[in-house]
């Protein structure tokens, strides 16, 4: 099992990039998007001009950090947001309840 520092480092690295944060925003708004759909939304809503390959690489970083999960249905690959890794960070510094 990976250490907490390694896991949280991956999460912080994934969140450090504005394009990756925009991808997470888009998945939060509408989960289960394909690469094509995400690219279109990044261009139209955020003005990003990243190539499909660049967006795919961003998705790989997000998936490695556990923030995105993928599933295949036929020839399509769908991307889903997974916020559970963020809970590991917030749980570490959670204040005790009285």
Q: What are phi and psi of 79, to 5 degrees?
A: -115, 130
The CATH classification number of 3-90 equals 1.10.10.10
49-58 contacts at long range (C-beta below 8 A, 24 or more positions apart):
50/19, 54/19, 55/19, 55/23, 58/17, 58/19, 58/20, 58/23
Domain locations along the chain: 3-90
- The string of pLDDT tens digits covering residues 49-73 is 889 999 999 999 999 999 999 999 9
59 contacts: CB under 8 Å, gap ≥ 6: 23, 35, 38, 68, 70, 79
Q: What pLDDT, on a 0 to 100 scale, did the predictor assign at position 4?
A: 47
Residue 87: the pLDDT is 86
Among the residue ranges 4-8, 76-80, 91-95, the one predicted with the least confidence is 4-8
- Quote the pLDDT of residue 2: 52
Angle between helices 84-92 and 4-15 (to 10 degrees): 120
Q: What is the pTM of this model?
A: 0.85
């Amino acid at each position: 099992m990976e250490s907490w520092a390694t896991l949280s480092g991956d999460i912080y690295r994934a969140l450090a990039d504005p394009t990756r944060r925009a991808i997470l925003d888009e998945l939060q708004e509408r989960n289960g998007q394909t690469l094509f759909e995400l690219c279109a939304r990044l261009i139209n809503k955020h003005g990003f001009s990243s190539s499909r390959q660049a967006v795919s690489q961003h998705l790989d970083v997000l998936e490695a950090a556990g923030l995105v999960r993928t599933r295949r249905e036929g020839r399509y690959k769908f991307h889903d947001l997974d916020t559970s890794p963020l809970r590991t960070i917030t749980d570490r510094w959670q204040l005790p309840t009285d």
